[in-house]
Each structure stands twice: as structure tokens, then as C-alpha cells.
Amino acid sequence: MATRSRRRTAWQARAALLPVLLTGALSLAACSGGSTSTTSPQGGGSTSKTLVMDASFTLKTADPGRNYEPTGLIVGKALYDTLLTFEGSDVTKPVPSLAESFEQSPDGKTLTLKLRQGATFSDGSPITADDVVFSLNRVRDLKGNPSFLLDGVEVAKTDATTVTMTSKTPRPELPFILPNPALGILNSKVVKEHGGTADSSDKAEQYLNGASAGSGPYELESFNTSSQVVLKANAKYWGPDKPTYTKVVIRNVESATQKLNVQRGDSQIALDLSGDQIKGVSGNFQTLKTASANVVFLLANQDPGVSKATVNPKIVEAVRKGVDYQGLLELAGEGSVQAPGVIPTMLLGALPADQAVKRDVEGAKAAVAASGVSNPSVKLEYPSDLTLQGLSFQPFAERIQANLKEVGITVELAPAPVATALDNYRNGKEELGLWYWGPDYPDPTDYLAFLPGKTVGLRAGWKAGADKDLESLGDKAASTIGDDTRKQLYTDIQNKLNASGPFIPLIQPSQNIVTAASVTGLQFHPVWTVDVAALGAK
């Protein structure tokens, strides 16, 4: 689990996390109590369609400069266009959006973007280089949840149609960061009129929680962090693909009720159903089961002050070889996959499935014998009140405990409320920890955090200098431009981590997507979960 006090902190602070989709499609110009959707003719013979989506909210604001929660990113994607985006669910290659082209310098320190001509905000005014500079500087300098995305990046207007982003260090990941909805471009004139600034004195959040100031396919009609968000189609949308639905209602509903709603046709999309809940959905639905971008992993602490057992490389080897990965997949359900490395399977640099660690019981027993530790015992800590894709950590912990008992390692289970568990995890106090990491942005640089001396490395007591060869590889990867070269570097990094690092990647839980037969265009996306504007209707 990434936990930086940013988006994942919000995820971890609640018991039910990330989305899974469901639908049962009807249509209406207005939902009666927000529960049904029908199609009806409007003036001039036009047709109005309403999409109803149920979600378990992780939502604080609609202000892009402060928005970095999963539900908020769904909303932000619909309201605000970004300079770059991704095509469908493919996150391996950024493509133009408000920027018609982009070029990164050979040293990775400069990114030049040419702005698209003819793009307009929802009030019809043109999008300018000044709007881009204001919007990106505002995100960085507000010091809100997403500000870290642009740490150390200077944004400047080169001319009326060109914006340049520079940094003192190479930032090969920057094109992969810019599609994030938190970096949506604001109508600077409108935002400034409502107290907007590019510093901590900004007072525009209240306005942006009641009305959007973007160029996206939808506008904000109403916003409530505890009940529902209503979006309306942007009649002046500049893009070639106009939104199918004239209204989108996103409701805060707990998962069991989401299932009931979709089955009886009260909603068209339901997020947050587990694999078991999906099995019980019957009727005319389309189902997509795919691996999420979240990697569940074990960490074995390398600080001798925390553990005398897990600092022993043979004990770590025994844990790695002793886990029954296929058994964990059975617990996780259909659509889940074994994580071959710390980088999830859909990102650049992910290891192929055939390079994943295999269970080797005899090899694990031999490693225990070679460790010199008599009757090794470790404490496994994990959050007791947190779920991921509808899954609790408890069954996984129990299965790992049974697996390691078979190879001669006694595991004491130590579940704790997420606040307590997080504190121990962040402060490097866990002997053996069970957590997950989801990408801040879909680029492998985000996973250099697992190296010695970096954020997650330090949480495992793995200090700088612990593996100089690996650290050197990481430094090279962080400054290299060119996807082919980067891919090989991250492959080498993960193979070394799998061979001798203190982390054991386990699984990527499934993201289950079920839609009614009438809904089209739905794809899971690891950044914004679902692109509302891409949804169609038969």
C-alpha cells in the first residue's frame, strides 16, 4: 500500500476501498429519488438519457487542485480535460488531449507541449497557455493532496500556443503524470473571479464544489461528499465525441445495496462489489473481470532492532518460496492474478507472468535449515478493518500463516485497526507486514519507492547502501528517457528484488466490471477507474 498521506491515505482510512463496476441500464431525464433512469423526449425532439452509478464514496472535493481520491478522480475526469490522456485502458503510452503534441528533451528535464487550437471551456471561451500555467502552478503551490505530482516542476508560457515544463532533475514520468484528472485545466479567469490563486491563499474550492470551470464533456450540476454528485452534459464540448448521457448521477451507496440496486434496475453502474457479490448477479449483464493495479505484498523488516529473524536472508527466501500463490488467488477470486513483481501487469516495465516466483516447499524448508535460526517465529501485522476490491486481509494472513507453518516458520497474526497498523508500517516497526501499493501515476518510476533508502524500502528497514548495485540501477532508471531502455531497467530491478529483496509480491486482486447489455464503452482504468464520457448506450 503506497500511503504517502495522499490519495492512498484516504483509501486506507476507510473499510471499503476501490471500485468495481456494475450496471443495469434504463434511462430517464430525472431519477425519481435517484433510483431509476429512463429515456424521454425533450423539447425539439431530442432525447435525454440519465446514467445512475452507485459507488462507495472516497470523495472530499471537486476542486482539481485538492482532489486526489478515487471517486473524486472519476468526477474530475468528466469535468476537466488534461494536456495529455490515455487511450482507453492502455496506460503504457500517453496521447495528446488539450496538447496536440509534446516532446521531452534527451536529458528528461524539459517537456514542451503545443496546445490544441479550437478547444474551449464550457462557457465557450478559448483555452490559453495562461490557463494552463495558472492551473498547473495552482496544483503545485496549493500544497493539497495532488501537489506532489508536480514537485520541483516549473511551468512557463513560451508563446501563445506553447507551454514548457522544466525540472532540475530528469522526470521521464512526467508525460504519464499529466493525464491525472487532478491536473485538469481550469478557466483561470473564472476561478480568479471566485478567489482562485496559485498559492495557499486560494479560496476557490467552495465555488468549484458548486460549479465546474473546465473544458470536459460534463459540467457540475450538484456536489455532496456524503450523498451524490450530479453531472450534466457540456453543450459546448469542443471534442469530437459528445457524451451519450445528458446527466450522470453518482450516488454514495454501500456495496450490499449496490448489488440490490443494479439487479432491480435502480442503477446502471455499481462500483465496489466483491468477486463473491458478482457471482450472485444474474440477468442480462456483461461481465469483465480484470486484474486491478493494486499489488498486495509482504515486507520482511531488515532492521535488526525490529527482527532477528527477517534480517536473515535465508528466512526471507523461505517466506518467498513457502507462500502458496495459487492458493491466495483462489481466495481473491476470478480475475485476480499473481503479481510477478512490484510493478502491476498493465504498466510499462512489468515482469511477464512466467517470471513470477513459484512455490517451492522443499526449497523453503532447506532455506530455513540453512538460516541457522532454530524454530523461527515472526509476527505478521496487517490492517483488520480495511478491504481491497471487497477483500479483507484476514483470510490472506491466515493462509500465509498456514503456508509458512508447513515449511517450519511460526507466524503470529497481529491484526490492528488501520490507523494503528499504518503507524507501525510507516515507521518501519513491522517485523512482517501485509499491505498493498496502488500507483500514484501509471509509470514504473513510482515503484522505485521499494528500493533501499526510499519510502517503502525504509518501511522495511532497508536503508540506503544496503544494495548498491540495485540502487545504481534505480538511479539510472529514474533518469533514463526512452521506453524500451526503461522497460529493460525495470525488468532488471524487479528480478533483483525478487531474488534478494525484502518484498514478496503476492497478487493483484480483480477489478470486476458488470454492465447491462445496453451499456457500451466501459473499461477499467487504473487512474480514474471509469471514463464516464466514454460510456455509450445501445
Say which DSSP state 38 is in.
B
Under DSSP, the state recorded for 366 is: H
- Tens digit of each residue's pLDDT (9 = 90 or more) over 155-188: 999 999 999 999 999 999 999 999 999 999 999 9
Task: Give me Rg for the CA atoms of the chain.
Answer: 24
Q: What share of the chain is helix, strand, coil (3-state, %, to 5)?
A: 30, 25, 45
Q: What whole-number distance in Å separates Cα of residue 14 and Cα of residue 12?
A: 5
Q: What pLDDT is recorded for position 210?
A: 97
User: What span, in angstroms and rounded, lies between the C-alpha atoms of 73 and 58?
Assistant: 10
The structure's pTM equals 0.85
Domain 295-508 has CATH 3.40.630.10: no
- In terms of DSSP H, where are the helices of 158-239? 174-177, 188-193, 205-208
Residues with Cβ within 8 Å of 166's Cβ and at least 6 positions away in sequence, in order, are 109, 110, 111, 153, 154, 156
Q: Classify domain 7-289+512-537 by CATH number.
A: 3.40.190.10
pLDDT at 47 (0 to 100)? 60
Compute, in degrees rounded to 10, the torsion defined by CA atoms 492, 496, 497, 498.
100
Report the C-alpha gap between 440 and 130 in whole angstroms.
27
CATH 3.40.190.10 residue spans of the chain: 7-289+512-537
Q: How many CB atoms lie within 10 A of CB 418?
A: 21
Contact call for residues 388 and 293 (beta carbons, < 8 A): no
E strand or H helix at 458, and its extent?
helix 455-459
User: pLDDT tens digits, the chain, 538 residues: what are they?
Assistant: 443 334 443 333 333 333 332 223 222 222 323 333 444 333 333 467 999 998 888 899 999 999 999 899 999 999 999 999 999 999 999 999 999 999 999 999 999 999 999 999 999 999 999 999 999 999 999 999 999 999 999 999 999 999 999 999 999 999 999 999 999 999 999 999 999 999 989 999 999 999 999 999 999 999 999 999 999 999 999 998 899 999 999 999 888 888 888 888 888 888 877 777 787 787 787 777 889 999 999 999 999 999 999 999 999 999 999 999 999 999 998 889 999 999 999 999 999 999 999 999 999 999 999 999 999 999 999 999 887 877 899 999 999 999 999 999 999 999 999 889 999 999 999 999 999 998 889 999 999 999 999 999 999 999 999 999 999 999 999 999 998 999 999 999 999 999 999 999 999 998 877 777 788 898 889 999 999 999 998 8
Over the range 94-113, which residues count as b (16 or more CB within 10 Å of their CB) and which as e? beebbbeebebeeebbbbbb
Q: How distant, in Å, are the alpha carbons of 8, 309, 434 from that of 414?
A: 22, 17, 10
pLDDT of amino acid 12: 37
- Determine the 3-state secondary structure of 289 from DSSP: strand
In the chain, CATH 3.10.105.10 covers 295-508
Predicted confidence at residue 32, as pLDDT, reads 28
Q: What is the DSSP letter of 382?
A: E
pLDDT digits (tens, 9 = 90+) for 86-145: 999 999 999 999 999 999 999 999 999 999 999 999 999 999 999 999 999 999 999 999
Q: Which residues make beta-bridge pairs with 21?
A: 513
Separation between Cα atoms, residue 435 and residue 510, nearest integer Å:
16
